[in-house]
Amino acid sequence: MRAGIFIMIAAFICASLHVAGAEEKPVMLKLGPGLDKVEANCGACHSLDYIQMNSPFLDAAGWNAEVAKMIKAFGAPVDDADAKAIVDYLTKNYGRRP
């Protein structure tokens, strides 16, 4: 009896994970220098759709602050060269224009 309940619970969990994963759509960011750094560093911790969602609000200073926050406050292991490439990419491709 317990084995049957365990199997039913396991099947339900697996089915739930499969359905949740099927709903997630890949995020396609604009091609450009630095995209590889963004995908590798930013995408390692969170969905890249945050970039598109925040783009109407962030200019160069805003993107710089966001990248600095990820490194300093959240401990993202991003070196200085990659951080600069990420900020440059985000500013050029997703930065708010004055």
Amino acid at 20: A
Query: What does the pLDDT profile of the chain (98 residues) look like in tens digits?
Result: 555 555 556 555 655 554 445 566 888 999 999 999 999 999 999 999 999 999 999 999 999 999 999 999 999 999 999 999 999 999 999 999 87
pTM, two decimals, is: 0.74
Within-domain flag for 17: no
What is residue 19's predicted lDDT score, i.e. its pLDDT?
46
- Percent of the chain as helix, strand, coil, to the nearest 5: 65, 0, 35
Query: 15 is written with which tokens?
Result: 């089915």
What is residue 97's predicted lDDT score, i.e. its pLDDT?
82
The SS3 assignment for 67 reads helix
Within-domain flag for 90: yes
Q: Could you list the residue range(s) of the whole structural domain that residue 69 is in?
A: 28-94
What is residue 98's predicted lDDT score, i.e. its pLDDT?
72
Within-domain flag for 21: no
Query: 18 is written with which tokens?
Result: 């499969």
Give the total number of structural domains in the chain.
1
- Cα distance between residue 25 and residue 64, in whole Å: 27
CATH (domain of 77):
1.10.760.10
Within-domain flag for 16: no
Within-domain flag for 2: no
Within-domain flag for 22: no
Within-domain flag for 1: no
- Cα distance between residue 85 and residue 37, in whole Å: 7
